[in-house]
Amino acid sequence: MNAIECKDVCFSYGEEGGFAISHLNFSVEEGEFVAILGHNGSGKSTLARLFNGLLEADAGEVDIFGVKLDEKTLYEARKRVGLVFQNPDNQTVASIVEDDVAFGAENVGLPREEIGQRIRFALSAVGMEEYRSSLVSRLSGGQKQRVAIAGVLALKPSVIVLDESTAMLDPRGRREIMQVVEKLNKEEHITVVLITHFLEEAMMASRAVVMNRGEIVMHGTPKEIFSRHEELLTYNLALPRIGEICKKLQAAGLGVRDTLDIEELAEDIAGELTCAS
Amino acid sequence: MRIVAEHLTHTYNAGSPFAVKALDDVSLTIEEGEFFGVIGHTGSGKSTFVQHLNALIRLPSSLKHYKKPKAKKGQLPPPEPILKVGDFDLSSRKTDFRALRKNVGMVFQYPEYQLFAETVYEDVAFGLKNFAEKGHAPTKEETDAAVKEALEIVGLDFQAVKDMSPFDLSGGQKRRAAIAGVIVTRPEILVLDEPAAGLDPLGKREIMELLHTIHGKWCKTVVIVSHDMDEIAENCTRVAVFSEGRLVYALPPKELFQKAEELKSLGLDIPLTAKLVLALKARGVELSCDFTTEGLLSAILERKEGKA
In chain B, which stretches have pLDDT less than 70? 307-308
Q: Output phi, psi for B251, to 5 deg.
A: -140, 160
Number of cross-chain residue pairs from A and B with Cβ atoms under 8 Å apart: 95
The pLDDT of residue A15 is 65
Instruction: Tell which phi-psi region holds residue B33, choosing left (phi > 0), alpha (psi between -120 and 50) or beta.
Output: left
Task: Give all domains of chain A, ordered by start, each with its CATH number.
Answer: 2-239 (3.40.50.300)
CA A149 to chain centre: 11
ipTM: 0.78
Task: Find the closest chain A residue to B306 by CA distance.
Answer: A273
How far from B97 is each of A69, B55, B138, CA to CA, in Å?
A: 59, 7, 20
Rounded CA separation B278/B224 (Å): 26
pTM of the model: 0.82
pLDDT tens digits, A227-262: 888 898 899 888 888 888 999 999 988 888 888 889
The pLDDT tens digits for A80-92 are 999 999 888 888 8
What are A122-135's pLDDT values in tens digits?
A: 999 888 999 999 99
How far apart CA A213 and CA A192 sit, in angstroms, is 23
pLDDT tens column, B82-103: 999 999 999 999 999 999 999 9
Express each pLDDT in A140-185 by its tens digit: 888 899 999 999 999 989 999 999 988 877 777 888 889 999 999 9
By the 10 Å C-beta count (0-12 exposed, 13-18 middle, 19+ buried), B144 is classed as middle
Please give the mean pLDDT across all residues of chain B.
91
Q: How far is B197 from chain A (nearest CA, A)?
A: 7
pLDDT over 90 (residue A103): yes
Name which of A40, A229, A263 to mutate to probe chain B: the one with the most chain B Cβ atoms within 10 A of its Cβ.
A40
pLDDT category at A16 given cuts 50, 70, 90 is low
Predicted confidence at residue B51, as pLDDT, reads 94
Q: Tell me the DSSP string of A132-164.
A: TTSBGGGS-HHHHHHHHHHHHHTT--SEEEEES
Q: Rounded CA gap, A123 and A149, in Å?
A: 9
Ramachandran class of A66: left when φ > 0, alpha when ψ lies in -120 to 50, beta otherwise: left
Q: Indicate yes or no: CB of B201 within 8 angstroms of CB of A239.
A: yes
CA distances from B249 to A185, B91, B222, B281 (A): 41, 24, 19, 24
Contact list, B308 vs chain A (CB under 8 Å): 277
> To probe the interface with B, which of A234, A245, A250 has the most B CB atoms within 10 Å?
A245
Tell me the CATH number for domain B3-270: 3.40.50.300
pLDDT at residue B42 in the model: 78
Closest CA to B295 of B225, B240, B230, B241: B230
What's the confidence (pLDDT) of residue B142?
Answer: 92
Question: Does B272 contact A274 at a Cβ distance shorter than 8 Å?
Answer: no
Residue A127, min C-alpha distance to chain B (Å):
19
pLDDT value at position B27? 96
Residue from B112, B280, B298, B301 whose CB has the most chain A CBs within 10 Å, to mutate: B280
Which residues in chain A are closer than 8 Å to B199, comparing Cβ atoms?
40
β-pair partners for B83: B5
Of residues A93 and B134, more confidently modeled? A93
Phi-psi region of B42 (alpha: psi -120 to 50; beta: other; left: phi over 0): beta
For residues A100 and A91, give the distance between their C-alpha atoms in angstroms, rounded to a whole number: 9
pLDDT at A276 over 60: no
Strand partners, B4: B29, B84
Statement: residue A61 has pLDDT above 90: yes
Which sequence spans correspond to the domains of chain B?
3-270, 271-308
* Pairwise CB contact (< 8 Å): B267 & A172: yes
Q: Kindly state the greatest CA–CA separation across chain B.
A: 73
A266: which chain B residues are within 8 Å (Cβ-Cβ)?
276, 279-280, 282-283
Partners of residue B273 in chain A, C-beta under 8 Å: 245
